[in-house]
Each structure stands twice: as structure tokens, then as C-alpha cells.
Amino acid sequence: MGLMKRVFSQTRKPEGLLGKMMLNGMNPGHAKLADWGLTHLPRLAPERVIDIGCGGGRNAGELLKMYPLAHVTAVDYSELSVEKARAYNRGMIVAGRCDVQQGDASDLAFPDATFDLATAFETIYFWPGLEKCFGQVCRVLKPGGVFMICNESDGTDAASRKFEAIIDGMKCYTAQALEAALRTAGFSEVRCDRHPSRPWLTVVAKK
């Protein structure tokens, strides 16, 4: 495996030294995208929030700021990501407002109807079986719960297609594909918004 492929493959599941290097850049590197995505959330007052594929933990921290009365659970299947996210949100974990767990989007280890809001920033590209994973998100959301996806790629830009060829298991989805998978998984309302000048995509779905 070439060095470039090894480096970029760390975006899927950070491991080892290269994974640590990748994680160190994730929080600042994705901040503008994530903040843009968060502006698309409807007016909410969630009690329990889950951030799936939490990476370095910065977005879980922003959700804690947005919803000061909420508890946020951050989940990632990379041990390094869990470690980084716990360090980033250490204060909120001690305060009892946050927990970070290792887990898989295809088999979320939570009871039905646990959360009011679920988020997924720059992660669904690597989820195994989109409809199955979306079904898991729908299952753990309460009736009326909201699921927000925020992607740097809208599935049509040349850069995303290039990275698909480099990173094993990566798939960039169009808004139409995401909406279809979400509705199949049980979401009744889906809204897709694209950035006016970049291939960024935010999708907000309601159970």
C-alpha cells in the first residue's frame, strides 16, 4: 500500500501513529463544515443527543454548547477516536453531561427510542450498508426525533470520486441516494441543503 493511500485510509478508522496524526487534524480541519451543518438544525430542545462517528470529539463539544441541558453520547468504532474524543470533552464527561463509547453504526448498542437528536459528520461514507445503519439510527431515535448528516461531498464532485478510488470502503452519496435510503429506513421527512459555493451537503431527516 502506497504512503498516500495509507495516510488517507486513516480517515476510515484511525489507528497507530498515522491515525493519531490524522485525528490531530480532524477537529480543526472539519470545523467550518460542521459549523455550517449545525446551522441547518431546526429549533430543538433535546434531552439526549448521539453523535455517531465522533472522530476527535469536537462536534460533540459543539452540541453540548448548543444544548446546555442535553446529555451527549459520542460513538466511534476507532479506539483512537474514542480516546481523543474523551480527552477533548473531559470536563463535560466529569460533569456527567457527556460519555464517549466505542461502537458501530450498523449495530448501535442502545435501547429503542433513546435519543431526541442524532448527528453524523463526515462519517457515513464508511458505514457498512447505508439502509441498515440508517435503520439503526431510526430505531434509537424517539418518535419525532431528528437525524442530521453533514458531508463535505455531495457525491458528484471530482475530488470525492478521486478519494473513493484511494480509500477502500469509501462511498460518497448524492442527496437523492441519501433521501431514498433514509425513507426506506423509516424517516418520514427529509430535507437536503447544499452549500452555495462548495460541494458540501447537509441532510436533516425526521422520524
Per-residue pLDDT, 16: 55
The pTM for the full model equals 0.90
- For 116, the domain range is 3-206
CA atoms of 36 and 155, how far apart (whole Å) = 18
Domains identified in the chain, total number: 1
Contact of 22 with 11, CB cutoff 8 Å = yes
Per-residue pLDDT, 161: 75
CA atoms of 89 and 32, how far apart (whole Å) = 19
Whose cell is 498515522? That residue is: 18
Per-residue pLDDT, 3: 44
The residue type of 29 is G
Listed in sequence order, the residues at least 6 apart from 207 whose beta carbon sits closer than 8 Å to its beta carbon are: 138, 141, 142, 143, 144, 145, 146, 147, 186, 187, 188
CA atoms of 161 and 158, how far apart (whole Å) = 5
> Residue 197 belongs to a domain with what CATH number?
3.40.50.150
Q: Tens-digit pLDDT profile for the chain (207 aa)?
A: 454 445 444 455 555 555 455 666 667 767 999 999 999 999 999 999 999 999 999 999 999 999 999 999 999 998 999 999 999 999 999 999 999 999 999 999 999 999 999 999 999 999 998 999 999 999 999 999 999 999 999 988 887 777 777 667 788 899 999 999 999 999 999 999 999 999 999 999 999
Per-residue pLDDT, 160: 74
Question: DSSP secondary structure string, 94-149?
Answer: HTTSEEEEE--TTS--S-TT-EEEEEEES-GGG-SSHHHHHHHHHHHEEEEEEEEE
